[in-house]
Chain A
Amino acid sequence: MIAEAGLAALWLAAALAALQLALALGAGGAGGRAMGTIRAVAIAQGVLTLTAFAALIAVFLRTDLSVLLVAENSHAAKPWLYKFAGAWGNHEGSMLLWVTVLAIAGAVVAVFERHLDERTLSASLAAQAALALGFFAFLLFASNPFERLNPAPLAGRGLNPLLQDPGLAFHPPTLYLGYVGLSVAFSLAVGALVTREVGPALARAMRPWVLGAWILLTLGITAGSYWAYYELGWGGWWFWDPVENASLMPWLAATALLHSLNVLAARGGLRAWTMMLALVAFSMSMVGTFLVRSGILTSVHAFAVDPTRGSFILALLTLYIGAALALFALRIATVKEGAPFDPLSREGALVANNLFLSVILGIVLIGTLYPLIAEAATGEKLSVGPPYFNATAGPLALILAALMMIGPQLRWRRDRSAVLPRLAPGVVIGIAALVATIPIAPSIGLLPRLGLALGIGLIPASLAPLAGRALRRTPLAIWGMCLAHLGVAVALVGMASDSAFTREKLTTAVPGEQVEVGPWIVELRSIRPVAGPNWTALEAEMRASKGSGVNVLKPQSRFFTEPVTTTNEAAIETDWNGQLYAVLGAQDVATGRWQVRLWWKPFVTLIWLGGALIALGGLLALIGRWWRAFRARRRFVEAEW
């Protein structure tokens, strides 16, 4: 019954999306009354979709095996957290989560948006409804999560053990909120292009959505990177896997959009460019969804290979992106030009930021799609991996980091004052760091060396905009910007340090033997069997020390029965200056020796700390803007009284 109720709610929500599209298109400029109805429809659509999603969680929690999706992806003997999160650990469930976020975002924008004129808002809501309608159709016709299975099997097939991790509860929802939050920026841009109302008011309406989506994307990517780092047991934190790229591309576009929105909001400039980025950002979300959900990729995220689904998403993608670009082409000549600015100005720096981010985006997009295009065109099968991405995107990212030292310290419109003294601290410290790395680490590569120097120089440079300000009266948005830029610096130092200084030891050992890696001496003490809720494992006890104190690491080799698989659970010891990472491999039957792989990764933790700082900076900016808007409204109300 629950499954049928969920399916009915989904159909109703789809019908309401069609109604919203018709109403919003019909409203045109009618205003007042129509707007009220549209709001009610958008809210009902959000509530119904949420109901459907709750129904799916309910059937997973009860392990209702008469539902095909549950039978294929779940098992009664699974901890409840994975039953709950397992609802979106599969294709249909994750698409339902996607659509739920889309519908709720539509409802929120319908209810709370007050910056925009009603014509633009109703055109935007029409666009949002059109998006929702397509993805509802995809769910109902090609990915029905509530399909029944008759007769019901006695046991489910279980969830992929790699996904049985608390990370599954947070990583997909966070990323999806980010992906789909960008749909609002897309719809608002479409609305504004339709009514030709591209201006600062639109930028202010769009900004919280882009900022919110960007914060969540940042968190989702950071968490996903750490998850892959400890769960895969490969010691790496970024693999340039197409699925990782699928989340990176919307992030790059959203980062560029966030910066260009500031020019539009503050100075009324970069109108066409900002609209283009708003369309591109959500298009990248859709491309990402297509890449991940169509099953054309080799990845843990490719849940099932079903060609009809791939073509369905591709058709939606072509329709939406094509229509948006056509609208852009038709309208852009009539969009007013912004205020002029000098190349050496905040605007000029933001243009440079946007150009570099866009080039990196283009390179990642081409590298990710190239294997698909090459295979379609020539039948040749190939893959594009780290060598390509590191060689092309790496240097550009470093140039971008160098520009980050300068941009935030420039003034709007034109900067005629002496710029160099303001830049001095960052540049001097960066050059000092560069010189210092030469005797400390003579043999590291050029990119890690430059990364270290730029990252260290960027730390003071990113805080420089606070210099000379009354700190207590500095707007939160400025603090947010400095913190986010500091996060980039910190993450850059972590990445460069990891690739420059990591020590690896791959060997075999028997209990009682010692292995050296970096400054650590690791002793394998024992190996014994342990049992978890739905797995058994061999667990090694290792004692690691570097001079004083002993740390115990317990890496495991886990064996799951539903489905039958083994996974390596790495053990990680976090110290103030890095992480010791231990993996237990198989036992060699002939000699009785155990495979052991150890890494010492100096300052690798800075990568994720940096990611968290970037997200926190975004959050501060978001809170700061809300607080200002709130204060302004209260003042306005008081004045009325």
Chain B
Amino acid sequence: MNLRPKHQRLVLVSLAVLALGGAVLLAMWGLSDRAAYFVTPTDIAAGKAPHGQAIRLGGMVERGSLTREPDGVTIHFTVSDLKAETPVRYRGITPDLFKEGSGVVAEGRMEGGLFVADTILAKHDERYMPPQMAGTATPR
């Protein structure tokens, strides 16, 4: 196949455009069911979190709500945004900064009335609060 330079440039430009379009399409497909929406206990109470879909739950760990199952590694606690509450179950070692009365973001899904968390993120330091929580609750 012998292409003239001008044709070759045309082919390369079309390939680049095709790749760009492909990237956008692939990204849209991926995002359509893999983006985890951030919800608060109020949203869950209002039925905004479909059963089984990946979500992130943000709020405060309610004081006095933390309990441990006999296996020693499964914990239960309640996340609150001062208006509503969601019970959470998590199996694993809690992050360094996780404690009652401080901010938390849990990733997981709703199963029945229970939020089953795969990952727990706690707020990182005094000056830092997850930006998504800025409008929902005040730490401490």
Residues of A within 8 A of B (CB): 72, 157, 160, 162, 233, 270, 272-273, 295-300, 302-305, 337-343, 351, 355, 358-359, 361-363, 366-367, 370-371, 374, 380-385, 387-388, 391-392, 396, 506-508, 563, 565-568, 583, 585-586, 588, 590-591, 593, 595, 597
A339, B68: Cα distance in complex, Å: 70
Give the most central of A233, A272, A296, A359: most B CB within 10 Å.
A359
Could you list some 19 contacts between A and B, CB below 8 A? Answer: A272-B9, A299-B124, A305-B128, A337-B5, A340-B4, A342-B1, A351-B15, A358-B23, A361-B23, A366-B23, A382-B36, A388-B30, A392-B26, A392-B27, A392-B29, A565-B97, A566-B96, A586-B93, A590-B68
Q: Interface digits, B1-36 against A, CB 8 Å rule (1 contact, 0 not)? A: 111111011001001100110111011011100111
Contact A381 B94 (CB under 8 A): no
Q: Which of B2, B127, B129 contacts A340 (CB 8 A)?
A: B2
A366, B130: Cα distance in complex, Å: 21
A568, B122: Cα distance in complex, Å: 14
Contact A363 B92 (CB under 8 A): no
Report the interface size for chain B: residues with CB under 8 A from the other chain: 52
Q: Interface digits, B83-102 against A, CB 8 Å rule (1 contact, 0 not)? A: 00000000111101100000
Query: Nearest Cβ in chain A — how far from B20, in angstroms?
Result: 7
Contact B93 A351 (CB under 8 A): no
Contact A383 B56 (CB under 8 A): yes
**Which A residues are in CB contact (< 8 Å) with B112?**
none
Name the prevailing secondary structure of the A interface residues.
mixed
Query: Nearest Cβ in chain A — how far from B30, in angstroms?
Result: 4
**Which A residues are in CB contact (< 8 Å) with B56?**
382-383
A566, B95: Cα distance in complex, Å: 9
**Which A residues are in CB contact (< 8 Å) with B107?**
383, 385
- If A302-B128, A563-B126, A585-B94 are given as contacts, then 6 extra A-B residue pairs at C-beta distance below 8 Å, sorted by A number, are A298-B132, A305-B134, A351-B15, A382-B38, A383-B56, A392-B26
A303, B127: Cα distance in complex, Å: 8
Contact B24 A384 (CB under 8 A): no
Contact B96 A565 (CB under 8 A): yes
A396, B26: Cα distance in complex, Å: 11
A392, B94: Cα distance in complex, Å: 30
Contact B24 A507 (CB under 8 A): no
Within B113-139, which residues are at the interface with A (CB < 8 Å)? 121, 124-132, 134
Contact A298 B12 (CB under 8 A): no
**Which A residues are in CB contact (< 8 Å) with B34?**
384-385, 387-388, 391
Closest-by-CB residue of B relative to A371 is B35
Closest-by-CB residue of A relative to B54 is A387
**Which A residues are in CB contact (< 8 Å) with B22?**
359
Closest-by-CB residue of B relative to A587 is B72
**Which B residues are in CB contact (< 8 Å) with A299?**
124
Contact A367 B131 (CB under 8 A): no
A595, B68: Cα distance in complex, Å: 12
With contacts A362-B20, A506-B73, A508-B72 known, is A340 near B124, CB below 8 A? Answer: no
A338, B121: Cα distance in complex, Å: 52
Contact B131 A297 (CB under 8 A): yes
